[in-house]
Structure 1
Amino acid sequence: MTKIFETPLYPYERSADQDAAEPVRHPVVVIGAGPIGLAAAIDLARHDVPVVILDENDKVSWGSRAICFAKRPLEILDRLGCGQEMVDKGVQWNLGKVFFGDRKVYDFNLLPEEGHHRPAFINLQQYYFEEYLVNRARALEAEGKPIDLRGGSKVTAVEAKDDGVLLTVETPDGPYRIAADWVIACDGAGSPVRSMMGLDFVGRVFEDNFLIADVVMEAGFPTERWFWFDPPFNKGQSALLHKQPDNVWRIDLQLGWDIDKEKEKKPENVIPRLKAMLGEDAKFELEWVSIYTFQCRRMEKFRHGRVIFAGDAAHQVSPFGARGANSGLQDTDNLIWKLKLVMEGKAPETLLDSYDAERVHAADENILNSSRSTDFITPKSDQSRIFRDAVLDLAEHFEFARPIVNSGRLSVPATYDGSPLNGPDVAGMPDRTRPGAPAVDAPIGNGWLLSRLGDRFQLMTIDADAPDRIDVEGIEVERLELSTNDDPSGALAERYLGDAQAGIYLMRPDQHVAARWTKFNEAELRSAVNTATGALSNRVETPD
């Protein structure tokens, strides 16, 4: 049976651009048809912004790669139109167990509080994720949306100019050139675009390697995340086990630093390691094997004129904590609405600098957590190892020690504290929904709050009066009228009102809170919209 990652999904086809006398200019070109590039292009096309996607390949990635998808990215994918397929196919999990040696130290539950549409996490192979995104792009194309996915198209030169970018594209029919008003580089950790522009990462490369194996087997393990420190089958190192769909199990085994990577990937060396873990009689088939090196690095800036970097091209973290694809999706979620407003002339180009400010902040938060996880998992001194082992011993018997154990603090969405786009706040309202924070879901009638938020500026009112529609210099703000009576569970009031009797929230198109009040004031709303779009205030300064 042909597997999905062996099937071309977007094979090379000759484009009319290749026969043009001069480079054809496109509003946006996305480089890279991995998950982040596809998500960016889908979001643009949904908003009728013409986009071309270039990728040298013609099929989805081989191997599980990114497998853990968190609640917030699933909510973003709901807006893009493919969240349900992810959840339907993925393996949902809440429970994790931590082992030290041959004994269980403790377990933990990630199940969020009641009243959320999406689960805390699902496990799903990256090739399925990419397939759903390709299918969504094709569906948009069939609907007449302006999206053009070009496989077999390798970008070999990037000439960045003040008013656009000129690209050279190599194809089976030879090279051609196209121009773009804007380029979004989503071409992965080894980003050729980054190299061609003479840009680099700053950060740490950790002296350690992990073997990843996708193993097809019938197994009685529960649907949980299991992490071992110093297991008997991999002494002095660590290991991780995750269940995926189709009886595929993801196994990560720490190998150390001074290894021959090509030798370690050979089946004759991988299989004995897996049998030591699973048992000599275990029956399994290797689907995919790789080795990764821990890296926690990022570009100093994500925006370079008309070229904007997202996903692994902009930042890398070690895989513990599921911060790679999850943070990349939040990059595009942050970027696309801003780029659209700039292209429409409704916001200044400087609004894109807030992409830098907000997503660099998020990347630094991820790098900090990922570095701490890596340092705990792979101690590089005797003192560090003694401390780690003592914490694990204590955690078996005392709950206070468990938060100190760090087997990969799991991904949470970034709150943009200190963002230049944040507007006013009021005391007494819940901290979790402060300006800069992503919206928190809640049951509303027979549906969900987040299904009614996003893609535009909205004024969400809870037991408060406000106009149904306000135009702020061409940006239309729609009202979403809610009442605490819409949610008998009390979740809406608990998450958005706190001690207040009423609440008014200005929501950004990416479902983040821009500002909030307890009563409506039109002048303050207009000022907050101008702030959230990077526009200059309309207030006239009066002389002293």
Structure 2
Amino acid sequence: MNKIFEVPMYPYERHADQDASAPVRHKVIVIGAGPVGLGAAIDLAQQGIEVVVLDDNDKVSFGSRAICFAKRPLEILDRLGCGTPMVDKGVQWNVGKVFFDERPVYDFNLLPEDGHEFPAFINLQQYYFEEYMVHRVRALQAEGAPIELRGRNKVSAIGTHPDHVTIEIDTPEGSYNLEADWIIACDGAGSPMRSMLGKDFVGRVFEDNFLIADVVMEADFPTERWFWFDPPFNKGQSALLHKQPDNVWRIDLQLGWDIDKEREKRPENVIPRLKAMLGDDVEFELEWVSIYTFQCRRMEQFRHNRVLFAGDAAHQVSPFGARGANSGLQDTDNLCWKLKLVIDGTAPESLLDTYDTERIYGADENILNSSRSTDFITPKSEMSRLLRDAVLDLSEHHEFARPLVNSGRLSVPCTYDGSSLNSADALNGPARSRPGSACPDVLLGDDYLLPQLADKFTLLTIDAEAPDVIEEAGITVTRLALSVKDDKTLALKDRYLGDCDSGVYLIRPDQHVAARRPSFDENQFRAAIRRASGQE
């Protein structure tokens, strides 16, 4: 059994701030050292923004928790310097299979097209995920980056002011106070920060519970996502099987609504359920057991003056579809470049309102898809169940029914359609690279496109002329000039030009498209730069 989650990785140490005569002011304080909080802190530190991370724990999360990470978050993690070790450790998978009773009725393949650096999905325990991120924090500290990670520092009170936030922090040696210009609250679904500010979620709580069991076993199951509707080992319910590294397997079993959660988590009740699924001859060891209730909810606003919420603290979805941690990483990816512009005095504070609108748009998209998956997986009326079962029966032999099978629509990048930061689309190009979309990757010789579009505003020209550098409203935009003549695979033309002969893209620091046109027009692109940085 893996014991990594029992070892303190950032043990409590007394800090000089605790002995200061007055509360010390920091630029940014991040509350919570989970994947989302660490992602925000690393992102800010890499941009030279001073950041302190506070967590009431001192080690990585107990149990696998979030395990399924999609290509877009992996691309973000690559920009943060920890994507490659996660992929190297993780279990890559592309195939998913759906069973009805014991019959395989439908399968899908998520293998991405050629020319992408990262796979469609990996499975990786959250404790490894957090371990690699802590290692990245330590590497940044060794390089002199302005980042701190303080364990056993629990925020117990908060006060908001027009130009700063005050917090009280409990430690093993007593309490102390800090001030922050900005706070990013990434303290999870039960967010104490949210409660302290008197904020709540809006949305749905579904009347169903699922058992999560992480099981260590030697098994010859393929590296695929298997989902059962009404299996013989869990009649009238559903089940899910996923492989993780180190011979750990994730098993989800639907239990129903009216249960005793504490009783159902006891090994004497869990083990018979698993044996019914796996067979009496399969030897296994329980690593972690939990029970969760489906929830699809979010805060009404993610920004509250100088306190910004991200990840599960801001929104929750049911786990089928891998939209939790994946969405949280896209939150901080959207937020941190905007916060840097505001801190540097380049952009107005109103730019942070677009974090609120864009990521609420993303949360609502996730909630919609997650709610639909939950309604299909757990029908609440006999008519709904009959319809669901008919779809499953038809999908075994008829292709038209397969798109209706919903065992969890898997996470995809959010496209910010309608964002105020986007320019109107004046290039009749591919829908996948329209303004608001995350740039699709392309293999260019021995290098990939996305790392060349990270952490800065970029003017991407494809068989088009433009200046090498544009200075506008305090923003420096550098040109990346490409030609389809150098792309033997034609992926660049397919993903960025379509039927057009040339194209010019303004790319934001988070690798989302802000504007595109068939050729460079100085006035139009200067206006697009101002709009993308919240200055118009």
CA contact (8 A) 1:24 1:178 kept: yes
Hey, what does 1:510 align to over in structure 2? 510
2:314 corresponds in structure 1 to 314
Q: Which residue of structure 1 lines up, in the alignment, with residue 217 of structure 2? A: 217
Asked if 1 retains the 8 angstrom alpha-carbon contact of 2:427 and 2:518, the reply is no
What residue is the counterpart of 1:357 in the other structure? 357
State the partner residue of 2:20. 20
Write the mapping of 1:317-356 to structure 2, written as runs, cut at 5 A: 317-356=317-356
SS in 1 for 2:174: coil
Percent identity over paired residues: 74
Preserved contact between residue 424 and residue 528 of structure 1 (Cα < 8 Å): no
Aligned-partner Cα distance in 1 for 2:241–2:431: 35
- 1:490 alignment counterpart: 490
Instruction: Give me the whole-angstrom Cα distance separating, in 2, the residues matched to 1:104 and 1:71.
Output: 27
1:381 aligns with 2:386: no
Is contact 2:417–2:436 with CA below 8 Å preserved after alignment? yes
CA apart distance, 1:486: 2.6
- Asked if the contact 1:55–1:154 (Cα under 8 Å) also holds between the matched residues in 2, the reply is yes
5 Å-filtered alignment, 1:168-247, equals 168-247=168-247
Deviation, 1:424, is 2.8
**Cα 1:287–1:165, aligned 2, differ >3 Å: closer, same or farther?**
same
Residues 427 and 516, structure 2, Cα contact 8 Å, conserved in 1? no
Contact 2:427 2:503 in 1 (8 A): no
The Cα shift of 1:284 comes to 0.2
- The amino acid that maps onto 1:235 is K
Query: Hey, what's the Cα distance between the residues in 2 that align with 1:7 and 1:356?
Result: 36
Deviations 1:98-129 (A, max 9, x none): 00001111211011111111110000000000
Which residue is 1:408 aligned to?
408
- 2:473 and 2:522 map into 1 onto residues whose CA distance is 13
What letter is aligned with 1:388? Answer: R
Counterpart amino acid of 1:257?
W
Q: Kindly state the Cα deviation for residue 448 of structure 1 after the two structures are TM-superposed.
A: 0.5
C-alpha separation in 2, matches of 1:486 and 1:191: 50
Q: State the Cα distance separating 1:428 from its structure 2 match.
A: 2.2
Q: Which runs of 5+ in 1 are unaligned?
A: 537-544
SS in 1 for 2:350: helix
- Are the counterparts in 2 of residues 211 and 292 from structure 1 also a CA contact under 8 Å? yes
**Residue 130 of structure 2: SS of its match in structure 1?**
helix
- 1:97 maps onto 2:61 in alignment: no
Residue 221 (structure 1) shift: 0.1
Aligned residue identity for 2:374? T
* Deviation per residue, 1:410-441 (Å, 9 max, x gap): 01110000000001312421111000000000
Residue number in structure 2 paired with 1:31: 31
Cα distance in 2, alignment partners of residues 453 and 53 from structure 1: 27
Counterpart contact for 1:424–1:517, Cα < 8 Å: no
Distance 2:167 2:233 in 1: 50
The alpha carbon displacement at 1:2 in A equals: 6.8
Partner of 2:56: 56
Equivalent-residue separation in structure 1 for 2:344 and 2:427 (angstroms): 36
**Aligned residue-pair number:** 536
SS in 2 for 1:233: helix
Residue equivalent to 1:541: none
Separation (CA, whole Å) in 1 of partners of 2:454 and 2:352? 19
Which residue is 2:248 aligned to?
248
In structure 1, distance between residues paired with 2:55 and 2:348 = 30
Q: Is the contact between residue 421 and residue 534 of structure 2 (CA under 8 Å) also seen in structure 1?
A: yes
The list of structure 1 runs, each at least 4 consecutive aligned residues, that deviate by more than 6 angstroms after superposition, is: none
Aligned-pair CA distance for 1:89:
0.3
Between the aligned partners of 1:467 and 1:138, the Cα distance in structure 2 is 39
Q: CA RMSD in A?
A: 0.7
Partner of 2:4: 4
Q: Deviations over 1:192-212 (max 9, x none)?
A: 000000000000000000000
Aligned: 1:519 with 2:511: no
Q: Which residue of 2 aligns with 1:140?
A: 140
Residue by residue over 1:46-94, the C-alpha shift from the partner in whole angstroms, topping out at 9 and shown as x without a partner, is 0010000000000000111111100000000000000001100000000
1:445 deviation in Å? 1.6
- Where does residue 267 of structure 2 map in the other structure? 267
CA contact (8 A) 2:96 2:225 kept: yes
Contact 1:217–1:284 (Cα < 8 Å) also in 2: yes
| Separation of aligned partners in 1, 2:66 and 2:522 | 45
State the alpha-carbon separation in 1 of the partners of residues 486 and 65 from structure 2. 41
1:88 aligned partner, one-letter code: D
Is 1:276 the equivalent of 2:276? yes
* Superimposed CA distance per residue, residues 358-386 of structure 1 (whole angstroms, 9 cap, x where no aligned partner): 00000000000000000000000000000
Normalising by structure 1, report the TM-score.
0.98
Q: Deviations over 1:247-280 (max 9, x none)?
A: 0000000000000000000000000000000001
CA offsets, 1:290-346, max 9 Å, x none?
000000000000000000000000000000000000000000000000000000010
1:291 match:
291
Residue pair 1:216, 1:284 contacting (<8 A) in 2 also: yes
Give, in whole Å, the separation in 1 of the partners of 2:306 and 2:167: 12
CA contact (8 A) 1:9 1:60 kept: yes
Instruction: Tell me the equivalent position of 1:395.
Output: 395
| TM-score normalised by the chain length of structure 2 | 0.99
Paired residue type of 1:386: L
Q: Within 2, Cα distance between the matches of 1:458 and 1:486?
A: 20
Deviation at 1:454, TM superposition (A): 1.3
Distance 1:220 1:519 in 2: 55
